[in-house]
């Protein structure tokens, strides 16, 4: 499905929101915009055997604004279940977070994997 909503096509005269009042005048009504909310994306961290737990907790605090307790819970869920959702964002914000997390992991020499998927 495309992200952008196509522009609303013009209405033909006398149809839809442009009724004729029968006296030679055309009454223009404002058409209600039917814009859908943007699709949201969840950023997911994947478990591995090497990235230190403390680093994952730091990532959750720093890049996903989680408090220490929540970050620890999410990290442990990933550790036990293989993956966990860090947050849900618009497409651009989710993509930026993935890039920032991966860059931080590589700088630290950790194999941590971070992906985004449609929510």
Contact stretch for ligand TYC (CB under 6 A) within 4-12, 24-32, 33-41, 45-53: 45-53
Contacts of 51 (CB under 8 A, 6+ apart): 105, 110, 111, 112
* 46 contacts 83 by C-beta, under 8 angstroms: yes
- Residue 53 Cβ vs ligand TYC, minimum distance, rounded to whole Å: 5
What is the Cα 29 distance to its own chain's centre? 35
Chain residues 56-85 in contact with ligand TYC, contact rule CB under 6 A? 56, 75, 78-79
Alpha-carbon gap, residue 18 to 26, rounded angstroms: 7
Chain residues 82-111 in contact with ligand TYC, contact rule CB under 6 A? none
Residues contributing to the site for ligand TYC (CB under 6 A): 45-49, 51-53, 56, 75, 78-79, 112
């Amino acid at each position: 499905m495309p992200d952008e909503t196509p522009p609303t096509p013009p209405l033909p005269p006398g149809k839809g929101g442009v009724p004729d009042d029968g006296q030679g005048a055309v009454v223009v009504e404002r058409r209600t915009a039917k814009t859908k909310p943007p699709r949201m994306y969840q950023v997911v961290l994947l478990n591995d055997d090497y990235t230190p737990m403390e680093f994952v907790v730091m990532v959750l605090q720093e890049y996903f604004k989680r408090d220490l307790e929540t970050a620890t819970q999410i990290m442990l869920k990933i550790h036990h279940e293989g993956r966990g959702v860090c947050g849900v964002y618009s497409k651009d914000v989710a993509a930026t977070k993935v890039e920032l997390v991966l860059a931080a992991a590589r700088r630290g020499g950790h194999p941590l994997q971070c992906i985004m998927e449609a929510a």
